[in-house]
Amino acid sequence: MDSTHFLASNARIVLAGRVIENGWLAVVDGVIAEVGEGSAPESGYDFQGDTIIPGLIELHTDHLEPHFNPRPEVFWSPTAAVLAYDSQIAASGITTVFDSLRIGDDVEADAPKKKSFSNQVFELADALKVTREADLTRAEHLLHLRCEICAWNVVDDAEAFLAKHPVNLISLMDHTPGQRQFRDIEKLLIYWRRKLSRPDSELLKIMDKRVELHAIRAEPHRRRLVELAQQHGVVLASHDDATSDHVTEAIGDGVAIAEFPTTVEAATASHAAGIHVLMGAPNVVRGGSHSGNVAATDLAERGVLDILSSDYIPASLIMAAFSLPDVVPSIDLAGAIRTVTLNPALSTGLTDRGEILAGKRADLVRVRIAEGHPVVRAVWRQGRRVV
Ligand SMILES: [Fe+2]
């Protein structure tokens, strides 16, 4: 099974539009050569009735950063962090991952910290380059630059990063209190109490400062970042859109993906405008948003959910995709799998993958449903077994 040629037989195969209950699939030179129903034309690798789906495509995971910075002020070797993270990604059935790296320090930090978010990003991007060039990773790693638009250093760092590394996706984030993800100040306060462990008086001061700086920085920084994305031909994503004004702005900026819209209004308007609506897979698995915003399944029922992302739990992607048809009966298995394969591929211009079809990359996952869980049994990237 180490070669990039193989024949899989006795498999349930999830195509983009339907499911073949018993079929076979031939891979030649890392590409899907043929897919058929019933018995295979010659003896092949017996999948024992397991399901084959396309390799998952993950657009927004922040899971690399905690591998590198597992505790406050503790930094792991960036290359070791990339390799450990990559193993977890691939074992979750993901064959293409947009590593989401945040640039832009918190607005209340007036001077660079010892190792700011941006320092981390450059170290991690260098490590990703090394592992990519030496062909050490199981999944294919692309880059998603998450830009916190009100940060003092976001524009300079985005410029420096784009000059040094290829970037495949840029998202424009604005976590100013009182809007978008944090419209509900009380909920933000509860979240910050846990995360920052500071007295409320200090947290309220930080909130005030963020609101003040938003008024000065949000607009010019956003304009410059959009310009940079256009100059470098990078796909743009909006983040936490909540109102129709946010969506109008996103349309004007040429946004292709709306990450985590927080309201039905914003999601519906984005989808209608041809912007792919991305929601968190943990939101599907947990049955709601951890920030108290709109539920992904609510958007799925309305037919406006296009893409799922594992966000902070890589294994949630496959879990959510397989559970979606049970929670939302109007979505069949092929449609659910599209949210984690073909749709993210199309939204980012990856036309060579994302579905089981002759001529596409043999990025494949063998899945067995056991105890109600989709268990990843094997993963191939371009026909090469990586898990
Ligand atoms: Fe957010």
Distances (CA, A) of 149 to 164, 172, 188, 222, 250: 20, 6, 19, 6, 14
For residue range 293-314, what is the model confidence (pLDDT) as tens digits? 899 999 999 999 999 999 999 9
CA of 282 relative to ligand 1 center, distance in Å: 14
**Alpha carbon separation from 372 to 89, 184, 319, 322, 355 (Å, rounded):** 21, 36, 10, 10, 24
What does pLDDT average to over the chain?
Answer: 93
CA of 239 to the centre of ligand 1 (A): 6
Ligand 1 centroid to residue 39 C-alpha, Å: 48
Ligand 1 centroid to 327 CA: how many Å?
A: 25
> Band of the pLDDT at 107, cuts 50, 70, 90?
low
Q: 146: CA distance to ligand 1 center in Å? A: 10
Tens digits of residue pLDDT in 113-150: 555 666 789 999 999 999 999 999 999 999 999 999 99
Rounded to whole angstroms, the Cα distance separating 15 from 20 reads 7
Position with higher pLDDT, 106 vs 31: 31
pLDDT digit string, tens, across residues 325-343: 999 999 999 999 999 999 9
How many A from CA of 101 to the centre of ligand 1? 14
- How do residues 233-268 score in pLDDT, each as one tens digit? 999 999 999 999 999 999 999 999 999 999 999 999
Distance 9 CA to ligand 1 centre (A): 43
Residues contacting 126, CB < 8 A, separation 6+: 78
* Cα 302 to middle of ligand 1, angstroms: 22
β partners of residue 375: 368
CA of 181 from ligand 1 middle (Å) equals: 5
Query: What is the pLDDT averaged over residues 49-75?
Result: 93
Which comes out higher in pLDDT, residue 66 or 332? 332
Q: Break the chain into its structural domains and give their ranges.
A: 1-54+353-387, 56-352
Residue, of 174 and 183, whose pLDDT is higher = 174
- CATH placement of domain 1-54+353-387: 2.30.40.10
CA of 301 to the centre of ligand 1 (A): 23
pLDDT band at 1 (very low <50, low <70, confident <90, very high): very low
The rounded Å distance from CA 16 to ligand 1 centre is 30
Which pLDDT value is given to residue 356?
A: 98
In whole angstroms, how far apart are CA 212 and each of 109, 190, 217, 242, 307?
14, 21, 9, 20, 34
Locus of tokens 């002759």: 358
Q: Is the pLDDT of residue 19 over 80?
A: yes
Residue located via tokens 């799925």: 300
Q: Is the pLDDT of residue 290 over 80?
A: no
* pLDDT reported for residue 72: 81
Distance 191 CA to ligand 1 centre (A): 13
Q: How far apart are CA 375 and CA 387, in angstroms?
A: 12
| For residue 111, pLDDT beyond 70 | no
The pLDDT score that the predictor gives to residue 120 is: 84
For residue 2 the two structure tokens come to: 């180490």
- Quick check: 110 pLDDT over 50? no
Q: 148 CA distance to ligand 1 centroid (A)?
A: 10
- Cα 216 to ligand 1 centre (Å): 20
pLDDT on residue 191: 84
Which has more confidence, 57 or 193?
57
Ligand 1 centre and the CA of 262: distance in Å? 9
- Tens-place pLDDT, residues 39-56: 999 988 999 999 999 999
Supply 101's token pair: 């790296």
Cα of 287 from ligand 1 centre, angstroms: 18
Give percent above pLDDT 70 in the chain.
96
List the CATH code of the domain at 56-352.
3.20.20.140
Q: Which of 92-106, 231-245, 278-292, 373-387 has the lowest mean pLDDT?
A: 278-292
